[in-house]
Amino acid sequence: MPTIAAVRTAVPPHVVTSEEARDFALHLFGDAFRDIERLLLLFDHTQIQSRHFCKPLPWFRESHSFAEKNEAYVQAALALSADCARRALAAANVAPDSVDAILFVSSTGISTPSLDAAIAQTLGLRQDVRRLPIWGLGCAGGASGLARASDYALAHPAATVLLIAAELCGLTFIPSDRSKSNLVGSALFADGAAAVVIRGDLVTDLANGAMEGRDAVQIVGSRSHLWPDSEDVMGWEVCDAGLSVIFSRDIPSLVRREMAGQVDQLLSSHHLDRSDLSHFIAHPGGAKVLDAYQESLDLPKTYLDDARAVLQDFGNMSSPTVLFVLERFLERRRRNEIEGGYGVLAALGPGFSCEQVLLQVD
């Protein structure tokens, strides 16, 4: 089975506290809703204390063209991606020219050539590196990217795969959009990037000929699910000002209704059931979504501690967020705070879709 050798994350320098974000929203949305004080309670209910952005808060009060925002996306996504990728490769003891494939996941900006080309050259990857850019998966992108990287490593067991997920969600904010969806987005979204090194089964340590990654988390399998006629649950509406967020209030209800069955199907395909599950690594789309996961799957509260901590410290960064949770999980494992067993990494995203990865901790 492929193994996760290292995970590293990166965030931009501008920090916005929950109080600062609330004051910002009051200033911008105050004349748009008669019940603005009630709506602003959302900033308390999110349980987010701080978030990071590539631009300072005053920048978001002004209108910017799609082209200007996209140029900021390209610059910031490249810098964050290179930063976390270098540290992930170093943590896995992998030289850049040993990377056989690079997968780049994002949904908050566009670039042709895709940004993995610039990242590969910045990192010094080989000229024959296989490239797979993935766009449009939103919050599900981190889990889906991990699954597709595992698929590549299964097909090429001697390969080392570099997965990068980078999102600049803050740049999608449109100050002239006074919708409730935009208000919710201003309370949740943030910027960040994550890099994961995945090794195929046959990757060896050239220094001593021993198999690498025996103590790494193994990727057992994955499952994707796409609900029909659900495209309006989550996504972007492309407009002249950029990418306008689409949110449905029904996402926690959908989690309560559907996730137990989704997890059961993943586990049963590997002759397991929920009694075999020791860990759950969830994308923290919001506090209500995490509560819905816990209720639907009847999880011990501690199973979502890492997800709640990431939500508190970083907010919802879309695709890389679940990889931030995975990084914390692996850090606690290195400190021997986590027992072995099976775990599920899960995220929901546009489509409307569910992506799951089954992990095994020795």
pLDDT at 211 over 50: no
Q: Report how far residue 307's alpha carbon sits from residue 326's, in angstroms, rounded to the nearest whole number.
A: 9
pLDDT at 134 over 50: yes
Q: Considering the chain, what is the average pLDDT of its residues?
A: 90
Residue 215 banded pLDDT, cuts 50, 70, 90 = low
Instruction: Provide the pLDDT for residue 44.
Output: 85
Residue 69 banded pLDDT, cuts 50, 70, 90 = very high
Instruction: Provide the pLDDT for residue 336.
Output: 85
pLDDT at 231 over 70: yes
> In the chain, where does the domain assigned CATH 3.40.47.10 lie?
3-199, 217-361
Instruction: Provide the pLDDT for residue 76.
Output: 97
pLDDT at 212 over 80: no
Active site members: 139
pLDDT at 209 over 70: no
**DSSP-H helix ranges across the chain:** 18-29, 36-39, 42-45, 66-91, 115-123, 141-155, 180-188, 251-268, 287-297, 305-314, 321-334
| Lowest mean pLDDT segment, chosen from 182-186, 202-206, 238-242 | 202-206
The tokens describing 286, both together, are: 């919001």
pLDDT at 63 over 80: yes
What is the per-residue pLDDT across 173-195, written as a single tens digit (0 to 9) for each? 888 888 888 888 888 899 999 99
pLDDT at 117 over 50: yes
pLDDT at 164 over 50: yes
The residue-averaged pLDDT of 78-93 equals 97
| Lowest mean pLDDT segment, chosen from 156-160, 214-218, 234-238, 323-327 | 214-218
Instruction: Provide the pLDDT for residue 290.
Output: 93
Residue 210 banded pLDDT, cuts 50, 70, 90 = very low
Look at residues 105, 118, 242 and name the one whose alpha carbon lies nearest to residue 166: 105
- Bridge partner list, 200: none
Placement of tokens 């090429």 in the chain:
156
Q: Looking at domain 3-199, which of 3.30.70.3040, 3.30.70.360, 2.40.10.220, 3.40.47.10 is its CATH number?
A: 3.40.47.10
Residue 208 banded pLDDT, cuts 50, 70, 90 = very low
Residue 19 CB coordination number (10 Å): 12
pTM confidence score? 0.93
Q: pLDDT above 90 covers what percent of the chain?
A: 69
| Lowest mean pLDDT segment, chosen from 48-52, 144-148, 173-177 | 173-177
279: left (phi over 0), alpha (psi -120 to 50) or beta: beta
pLDDT at 135 over 60: yes
The residue-averaged pLDDT of 8-36 equals 90
Instruction: Provide the pLDDT for residue 204.
Output: 56
The residue-averaged pLDDT of 219-247 equals 83
Q: What share of the chain is helix, strand, coil (3-state, %, to 5)?
A: 45, 25, 30
Omega into 352 within 30° of 0, i.e. cis?
A: yes
The residue-averaged pLDDT of 268-295 equals 93
The residue-averaged pLDDT of 28-34 equals 81
Q: Looking at domain 217-361, which of 2.40.110.10, 3.30.540.10, 3.40.47.10, 3.40.309.10 is its CATH number?
A: 3.40.47.10
Q: pLDDT above 70 covers what percent of the chain?
A: 97
Burial 221-238 (b: 16+ CB within 10 A, else e): bbbbbeeeeeeebbbbee
Whether the Cβ atoms of residue 247 and residue 185 lie closer than 8 Å to each other: yes
Instruction: Provide the pLDDT for residue 195.
Output: 98
The tokens describing 311, both together, are: 């939500």
Residue count (the chain): 362
Residue 121 banded pLDDT, cuts 50, 70, 90 = very high
